[in-house]
Structure 1
Amino acid sequence: MASSLASSVTSLQSSLQLLDNSISTLDSGVNDFPRLCKVLQTTRHFELLPEPTLREAQESLLDEITPSIAHLLSLSSNHVERLARREQSLKAKCDLQEGRLSSNPESRSSASRAQGQGNAALRGRLAGSSSAGSSSAAAKALELRRLVQKKERLKYAVDRLELQSTQRERQLRKSMAAQ
């Protein structure tokens, strides 16, 4: 019986040694457990959202931005219209000035021709004879010169009034567009 007891003790000692080895192996594995928890912890780099939540966020962002965009578009279109009206105004003014410049040399030449004719006729009549016909021709020449000058003044006034009326029409359109 002693031999059977000795074999039981040996078997028990071998089991204890195996248990000690298992405990030391588990201890070495569990010792590193906090670091393993940190290493194995999942980190979300990108958060996944459900599609309805994403759509709601897009719609709310769109609702916030749309009035600002509409306001900026209206401001820019008003500014573009204002610049277009200014461009038209400047073109009309340029055309008016070109018309005045082109008509002035002609009117000056026609007035100087009339004045030259009147002066020549006056000089010829004064040199030849001083009859009632010559004073009548000189008076006609003076009247013609006055009429030409009056025509030029009226033409200038008409051009100025046309320019003013177009500017007032633009201002009226601008005020109607602003409302």
Structure 2
Amino acid sequence: MASSLASSVSSLQSSLQRLDNAITTLDSGVNDFPRLCKVLQTTRHFELLPEPTLREAQQSLLDEITPSIAHLLSLASNHVEKLARREEGLKAKCDLQEGRLSSNSEDRASANRAQAQSNAAARARQAGSNSAAHKALELRRLVQKKERLKYAVDRLELQSTQRERQLRKSMATQ
């Protein structure tokens, strides 16, 4: 029995030695395994996507951008309208100022004419002029008065349109 035990022990020792050799062989083979995985790994430089996925991505991008674009367009159009109203207001103000300036020069000219006419009328009266000269002078005064009133009406109309624009502008900003 001792011989059978000795043969068992020797067989077990040889099995252990073979197992140890197998482990060292496997260890040397697996030792380089991470580097081999890295070398054998394929890298995709360009990914091909199916067309439906691409369309979905485009649609989602369009859905995301469209409200922002619409908002920016409305802001731009509001600003352009505001600038147009401001331009109209400035033009009306310019017309009003030109009217006032011409009114002042016309008032001075008409005052000078009225003074000259009154001087002429006084001379005519002093000289004992006839009623035809008096009627002509009266007619000139009435024509001048008509021109002044016409100018005043034009000026008031300009002021009215300017106030209407200001009112519309204030209503639009609210």
TM band (smaller chain):
0.5 to 0.7
1:55-74 alpha-carbon deviations (Å, 9 max, x no partner) = 11111221122122112211
Q: Is the 8 A contact 1:100 1:156 kept in 2?
A: no
What is the CA–CA distance in structure 2 between the aligned matches of 1:45 and 1:174, rounded to whole Å? 60
1:165 corresponds in structure 2 to 161
TM-score normalized with structure 2 length: 0.59
1:68 corresponds in structure 2 to 68
1:127-170 alpha-carbon deviations (Å, 9 max, x no partner) = x68x8x9xxx7xx78xx49x957854662353233342365268
The one-letter code matched in structure 1 to 2:164 is R
The one-letter code matched in structure 2 to 1:78 is N
1:11 corresponds in structure 2 to none
1:91-111 alpha-carbon deviations (Å, 9 max, x no partner) = 122122223323421331122
Q: After TM superposition, list the pairs within 5 Å mapping 1:22-41 onto structure 2.
A: 30-41=30-41
Q: CA RMSD in A?
A: 4.2
Higher relative contact order (CA 8 A, sep 6+): 2
The one-letter code matched in structure 1 to 2:158 is E
Aligned residues: 147
The gaps in structure 2 that reach 5 residues or longer are: 1-20
Structure 1 runs of 4+ aligned residues shifted over 4 Å read: 26-30, 147-151, 169-175
Q: CA, structure 1 residues 165+98, in 2 after alignment: closer, same or farther (shift >3 Å)?
A: closer
TM-score normalized with structure 1 length: 0.58
Q: Is the 8 A contact 2:85 2:165 kept in 1?
A: no
Identity %: 61
